[in-house]
Structure 1
Amino acid sequence: MAAGSTLPRRALGRQLRKLRERNDISQGAAARIIETSPQTYGRLEEGKVTKTTDLIINALANAFHADDAERRLLLELAQEIRQAPTPKGGLWRADADVIPKAFNHFLALEQAASHVISWQPTVIPGLLQTREYRRALIWAQRPNMPPDEVERVLDVVKKRQDILANEDFRFDALISEAVLRCPVGGRGVASDQFEQLAERSEMPNVSVRVVPLGIESPVGLLTHSFVMFKFGQLPKSKQVEPPVVYEEGFVGELYLEREVEVAQYEDVARRLAQIALPEAASRDLVVKATKELMK
């Protein structure tokens, strides 16, 4: 999967932070070394878009007392950033005004990921939603959104779903049975959605598993919806970025990257998988829910 520049930027930022902290150098001091602002240098360590010339990297490597292997890794990552394939004009640039700023980071992670695990106790995951199902969700959350803006948001959702056609991408969806008991948008919209859910679950790189109601374990009830992004190996430096967890709230988003935090979500995903129905039984339950709506 082409990771664009997101993963090498994250990897470079992580390596620079490690070297800087090893030498007890502040971000402000590091910024002065390359003659930039502390804010711009901070963006470099955060893996955000900023200049990554060899001149800048070598200056930082000198100041951070990097050995030959560490310097070579920094330069390889900088080269990967510059050579990373990017869609002409930017994949989401035309829709930038309808994408919340905080969600840009989500989209970049999703496009860079090789494996995504999603737990949804209330709605169908975005990558599996029909247009009309998503429209109903938008109107419920933002009833006054102009119709043309709604259509553009729906176009973004469709564009996101193109990633499912990539055989190197794996999507594991864990959903509560409660999702199948809520006819979002009405019976017709919901039945179409469930039909598509059953169809997508048959794709070789997509897994849909349902956590049934009445299960004794309350782990699903105690866990908010979340998405975990896992990443493949970078082609040149062979670096593998650690996973990132995204948790969405009604008024804000949370990105978790600390190893101890991510490990907790990995444990929850494992426990949810233990109590979820197998894929075939989950598909049967989705088909049954569809038929019930069509009666």
Structure 2
Amino acid sequence: MALRTNPTLRQRRLGTELRRMREQAGLGGSQLARQLGINPAHVTQMESGKTGLSVERLYTIAGMCMCDNQPLLDALAEVIADRGKGGWWEEYRGVLPVDYLEVAELEGHAKRITSFAMVYIPGLLQTRSYASALFTRGPLPLLPQEVDLRTTFRLRRQQVVRSGGTPYLALVHEAALRGQYGGRDVLIGQLAALVEDSEHPGISIRIVPFEVADFPIPSEDLTHLTGPVPELDTVQADASYGSHVFDLPAHLSRYRATLEHIRSVALQEDESRSFIRSIMEEMQNRHD
């Protein structure tokens, strides 16, 4: 079997879970390879996502590692069964940065999505005009066709929550509601879209006003993507240096606690809707 040169995020996560399973059992890669009757390099390749494995081999490895976490094994077996079933984002491979594809891949397989945005309206809720303005005014100059491509990709990502199949909680700081990145009219249109989205049955938008000071302010925008089992949860962070993915248990626990604290101090849905409307009216009444 030929090695994968660019394994997907999901393939790499499967390999990571295999490595954790082995390490928790106190087995070295060479020890596991000897028990399986394969080359140690093959174990390394499986754990890096560069080569696949069958469901049967997954359960063989689980037995050797004394892993009896059936829900986790069932979830990993589903990942294996899904190989070759690329998502819509694969159409953009080689055209857009890999980070873009991996965010869409995470969202496409999440059971629930929770995000916190401090500076910008969350990508899953941005209008075309707002998203285009962000790409146009970004740190790197982009040609108009690149701006259009990235904007179209971002709007296509939104189908995962607009379809109603994936519940979405957006925690948004007031600062993000006031950033006029594309001008006042673009912001007013974006705020009107947020009000409309807040009434969608699968979307919950809750605002954190400036006056709320008692909450841990993350240094980056965060998205918690709930997996089929807690062990397969993922946190994705957007920072100035790019996108980063966290899946270590300690990291997941910390970010879950952070988002839960923010949720506990955010306005309720009806209050948030009224708050967004008040800022929109303020912008509409403001004279240049």
TM-score in terms of structure 1 length: 0.79
Aligned match of 1:236: none
The reply on whether 1:225 has 2:221 as its aligned counterpart is yes
Moved more, 51-60 or 157-166: 51-60
Aligned match of 1:162: 159
C-alpha deviation, 1:27, in angstroms: 6.3
Aligned match of 1:235: none
Aligned match of 2:4: none
2:148 to 137, 151, 170: 151
d(CA) in 2 for partners of 1:154, 1:258: 31
Taking structure 1 as reference, are residues 206 and 61 closer, same or farther at Cα in structure 2, changes over 3 Å only? Answer: closer
TM-score in terms of structure 2 length: 0.81
Taking structure 1 as reference, are residues 188 and 33 closer, same or farther at Cα in structure 2, changes over 3 Å only? Answer: farther
Taking structure 1 as reference, are residues 264 and 53 closer, same or farther at Cα in structure 2, changes over 3 Å only? Answer: closer
Q: Is the 8 A contact 2:108 2:160 kept in 1?
A: yes
Q: Is the 8 A contact 1:226 1:246 kept in 2?
A: yes
d(CA) in 2 for partners of 1:153, 1:130: 13
Task: Spell out, residue by residue over 1:235-258, the C-alpha distance to the aligned partner (whole angstroms, 9 max, x if none).
Answer: xxxx65432111121113322212
d(CA) in 2 for partners of 1:133, 1:27: 53
The reply on whether 1:281 has 2:271 as its aligned counterpart is yes
Aligned match of 1:22: 25
Q: Residue type of the partner of 1:92?
A: W
Aligned match of 1:187: 184
Taking structure 1 as reference, are residues 56 and 121 closer, same or farther at Cα in structure 2, changes over 3 Å only? Answer: same
1:84 to 75, 82, 85: 82
The reply on whether 1:260 has 2:260 as its aligned counterpart is no
Taking structure 1 as reference, are residues 15 and 287 closer, same or farther at Cα in structure 2, changes over 3 Å only? Answer: same
The reply on whether 1:52 has 2:53 as its aligned counterpart is yes
The reply on whether 1:116 has 2:119 as its aligned counterpart is no
Q: Is the 8 A contact 2:114 2:170 kept in 1?
A: yes
The reply on whether 1:212 has 2:212 as its aligned counterpart is no
Taking structure 1 as reference, are residues 253 and 143 closer, same or farther at Cα in structure 2, changes over 3 Å only? Answer: closer
Taking structure 1 as reference, are residues 119 and 55 closer, same or farther at Cα in structure 2, changes over 3 Å only? Answer: closer
d(CA) in 2 for partners of 1:218, 1:55: 47
d(CA) in 1 for partners of 2:10, 2:95: 25
d(CA) in 2 for partners of 1:286, 1:229: 25
Q: Residue type of the partner of 1:229?
A: L
d(CA) in 1 for partners of 2:163, 2:83: 16
Aligned match of 1:292: 282
Taking structure 1 as reference, are residues 78 and 260 closer, same or farther at Cα in structure 2, changes over 3 Å only? Answer: closer
Task: Spell out, residue by residue over 1:181-237, the C-alpha distance to the aligned partner (whole angstroms, 9 max, x if none).
Answer: 2222001111111111111111111111110112231523x54311111123xxxxx
Q: Residue type of the partner of 2:265?
A: I
Count of matched residue positions in the alignment of Structure 1 and Structure 2: 277
Q: Pairwise mapping of residues 59-138 of structure 1 onto structure 2 (< 5 A)?
A: 60=61, 64=64, 80-81=78-79, 83-84=81-82, 90-138=87-135
d(CA) in 2 for partners of 1:25, 1:53: 21
C-alpha deviation, 1:176, in angstroms: 0.7
Q: Is the 8 A contact 1:34 1:59 kept in 2?
A: no
d(CA) in 2 for partners of 1:127, 1:228: 13
Taking structure 1 as reference, are residues 163 and 49 closer, same or farther at Cα in structure 2, changes over 3 Å only? Answer: farther
| Identity within the alignment, % | 24
Q: Residue type of the partner of 2:224?
A: M
Q: Residue type of the partner of 1:225?
A: D
d(CA) in 2 for partners of 1:70, 1:180: 43
Q: Is the 8 A contact 1:34 1:56 kept in 2?
A: no
d(CA) in 2 for partners of 1:258, 1:176: 27
Higher relative contact order (CA 8 A, sep 6+): 1
**Unpaired segments of 5 or more residues in structure 2?**
1-7
d(CA) in 2 for partners of 1:231, 1:160: 18
SS in 1 for 2:172: strand
Taking structure 1 as reference, are residues 231 and 59 closer, same or farther at Cα in structure 2, changes over 3 Å only? Answer: closer
**Unpaired segments of 5 or more residues in structure 1?**
233-238
